[in-house]
Structure 1
Amino acid sequence: MAALMLLLALVACMRGPMVAAPAGPPQPPVTGPGGPPPGGSPPPGAGGPVKVAVLLPLSGANAELGKAMLEAAQMALFTTGNDRLTLVPRDTTGTPDGAAGAARAALADGAQLILGPLLAAEVDAVKPVAGEAKINVIAFSTATQLAGDNVFLMGFLPRQEVVREAAFARESGLSRFAVLAPNSEYGRLMTDALRETASQAGATVVKAETFDSRSSDVGPAIQRLAGNTASAAPGTSPEPDAAPAPGPTQRVSFDALLLPEGGDQLKQIARRLKTAGIGSPQVRLLGSGLWDDASVSSEPALVGGWFAASPPDARREFQSRFQSTYGHAPPRLASLAFDAAALAAVLAKAGGPAPFSHDAILNPSGFTGVDGLFRFTPQGLVQRGLAVLEVQPQGPVVVSPAPRDFRDLVY
């Protein structure tokens, strides 16, 4: 715990510092393996250098994102002032072969921990390379099937967002849910999560409709959702851009609607729903991490909607400092790299023969970074303390604060 308190100094010049989460009640010791077994890279000596690999796509289709994430990781290192820790950036080129080669190069250079890579296929390629070297990986992917053993996933997991906001909706008196989701793996994951959460909370999912996210025609799905499938004349199809027949007084069988979509498509669907009489105040729209976008507040049809996300204050401080440091705004995923590098710096400061062991990474009290409270489970998945935000014209406002520690986590 003394080592974890070093987190208090990580971003002292930011109002949203990474700090150790308050200690919870005594918990059983973690049953996972401890430090890397013999055969891995030699542990750093007391006061010696500690190398941490950062595997990101610095060339290829995702180069712009990769470079920004590397900048965030470097900013975290500068903020900590940890002279022992050295980042070892390697370009994955955004490919599995490139990621595996980057991992081998970093390990040959003495890396004790791997941060990244970004894409699921890259993580899949890096996992056996790091496993053979007995080195742990904190990846930025959300591909949960790759978690476990020596791989921990730092990415934002969509299922946790649904669980958080649906639980809050239920607490707020909403009990009849519906979902309008893209016909994709992501849409199915969100729908399944809503069904499970609703069932556990004594609520019901009364309708579930899907649409082709590659098409601009969501009219039929909205008509089915509104219970109006006969608005077109016999033998004809509704016009793709025609508003569904129900008006603002239309009564539907649900009081909350999950809409896991983003960008322009989200805004278009929200307008169509509003025209169909599905929206605030009769129906509470529920979003996903895709709603965590400043432009969402510019759409009147989304005002009043709820979505779960990291608590915003610390992230705003991070965004401001990143902008002033590098002259451009950080992409949303940049904060993952900052928190991962800051965590590595904290663990390195703790010292010991195996600063990045399973036991160190799996601290049950967790950590607090610019994306809020988080910890890793023995299965390698990140667990986050999320807030619930409400879309308002001036920007999202917190309607349910994030938990301060994991004793307060009830979802």
Structure 2
Amino acid sequence: MARPKCRRDRFMRVAALTAVLSVVALGGCVGGFGDGRWARRGSPPRAELSPPADVPLAVDPAPAAGAPTASPTPAASGGNRIGSGAAKVALVLPLSGTGVAVGNAMRNAAQLAYDEAQQPDLTILVEDDRGSPDGARDATQDALKQGADIVLGPVFAANVQAAAVPARAAGKPVIGFSTDASVAARGVYLLSFLPQPEVDRIIDESVADGRRSFAALIPETAYGNAVEAEFREAVARKGARVAAVERYPSGAPAPAVERLARVITGSGATADALFIPETADAMPAVAAALIKARYNPARVRPIGTALWNEPALFALPALQGGRFASPDRNGFSNFSGRYQARFGAVPPRVASLAYDGVMLSAALTRQYGSQRFAETTLTNPSGFAGTDGTFRFRPEGLSDRSLAVYEIRNNAATVVSPAPRVLAKPGT
């Protein structure tokens, strides 16, 4: 019985070590450009991304039979602190009030990152924002008084805005976890799953696959407003056309589907792709309305964002052959396995953001010294290697991500266009 346990432990150690090596490469130029700009700027040499977490590394010895495993009790934390290093990092999370379950999971993920980074020269000041803007402002002020050089978090948009006020006054950057692009600004970066890069990726892939005319069914929500603007821009940027756009009140898509039928159904359909940025909960009603209108996904391909990355959607007839852009699932799957082994629970999807934030802080502290959190360091256009693939911060605070494209077939979603290891040159 000892040998299977040994193999299991070794797998977890291999995955953890690989994740560390991946993010240690963060500060370097992971992609590079061919125009020589890095050489002129004196930036660090090219650093390749590490292999994926399922590639064994010879430097990781298997533990001896019966060797103790990591304790779920934080080994280097004391109350509201993780570690005791010279560089101080604020981690502002909802540890009470609205969002407490997510906040506690993200705090665990930060602990996991600290331990897997081999206890870097960091002190993580864990602060409770009480799930409110006032709490976020107070928590950030408290961390800054303790000497924080950067703020990771908060989670909610209004709280990010509130935390940014004292952080800006102190000249310290914020890396927030909100998905609301409107809170991004110079010095306020979003390390989150923003919908805009997902829209860009699925439109780019669709055009590359020969789709030239796009229709859209878009819910009348804040998310729908954000993605519609990006959808129109992305289609225009690729030289394709928008055949029609119909909006509908959330939960009532049938009238909009009927209005759109002329361009997406029958032999006279003028669109060859249908963009539907809808949630997993609301998508079955949209799919049913499409089938009732005699929509054929084989003729007009349905496309979407990472909201579609839910197994419950993969059996819907209206989505068969459909494609969506999403971070590669392997990275989070490996992270989730290590998290479960440590804390005995499945982490929420956003937990990896706190993990990557701490890993980023550790790597930049190792490589850049006093310039670790400078704007030029954080906005390296080649980006950083994280749990969910390569990402980068734009100077205006938004982020780009390396995304895969999945296709839905037979109750499953499979990769048809892998996530690129190197992000495209900004502006292309």
Query: Structure 1 length normalisation: TM-score?
Result: 0.82
Q: Which amino acid aligns with 1:77?
A: Y
> Do the aligned partners of residues 409 and 281 (structure 1) sit closer, same or farther apart at CA in structure 2, a change above 3 Å counting?
farther
Q: Residues 84, 15 of structure 1: CA spacing in aligned structure 2 closer, same or farther, 3 A cutoff?
A: closer
* Alignment equivalent of 1:218, drawn from 253, 263, 266: 253
**Deviation per residue, 1:62-115 (Å, 9 max, x gap):** 111111122222211111113411211111111110000000111122211110
Q: 2:283 corresponds to which residue? A: 266
SS of alignment partner, residue 270 of structure 1: helix
Kept in 1: contact 2:152–2:175 (CA 8 A): yes
* CA drift at 1:298: 4.0
Residue 14 of structure 1, CA deviation = 4.9
Change in CA separation of 1:197 and 1:160 when aligned onto 2, cut-off 3 Å: same
Read off the aligned partner of 2:369 and give its amino acid letter. Answer: G
Change (3 A) 1:364 1:102: same
Identify the match of residue 321 of structure 2 among 286, 304, 311: 304
Q: How far did residue 151 of structure 1 move?
A: 1.1
Structure-2 residue corresponding to 1:24: 33
Is the contact made by 2:280 and 2:307 (CA closer than 8 Å) also made in structure 1? yes
Q: CA deviation at 1:133?
A: 1.4
The one-letter code of the counterpart of 2:230 is A
TM-superposed deviation, 1:339:
1.1
Alpha carbons 1:259, 1:285 under 8 Å: kept: yes
Structure 2 residue aligned with 1:66: 103
1:373 aligns with 2:382: no
Structure 2 SS opposite 1:226: helix
Matches of 2:196 and 2:224, distance apart in 1: 11
The 2-side partners of 1:88 and 1:13 are apart by: 26
* Among candidates 156, 163, 175, match of residue 212 of structure 2: 175
CA RMSD in angstroms comes to 2.6
CA distance in 1, matches of 2:296, 2:118: 49
Q: Which amino acid aligns with 1:262?
A: T
Deviation, structure 1 residue 314: 1.6
Residue from 49, 65, 76 that aligns with 2:86: 49
- Quickly say closer, same or farther: Cα 1:300–1:327, change in 2 above 3 A: farther
CA distance in 1, matches of 2:368, 2:232: 45
1:394 CA drift (Å):
5.0
Please list every run of 5 or more consecutive structure 1 residues that lacks an aligned counterpart in the other structure.
1-8, 31-46, 229-245
Q: Which residue of 1 aligns with 2:360?
A: 343
State the TM-score, normalizing by the size of structure 2: 0.79
Q: Give yes or no for contact 1:24–1:407 (8 Å, CA) kept in 2.
A: no
**Identity rate of aligned residues, in percent?**
37
Instruction: Tell whether the 8 Å contact from 2:202 to 2:303 is kept in structure 1 after alignment.
Output: yes
Q: Which has the higher contact order (CA 8 A, sep 6+)?
A: 1
Query: Following TM superposition, by how much is the alpha carbon of 1:295 offset from its aligned partner in structure 2, in angstroms?
Result: 2.8
Which letter maps to 1:405? Answer: V
Runs of at least 5 residues in structure 2 that lack an aligned partner in the other structure: 1-13, 42-83
1:234-245 to structure 2, matched below 5 A, reads none
Output aligned runs, 1:262-301, within 5 Å: 262-301=279-318
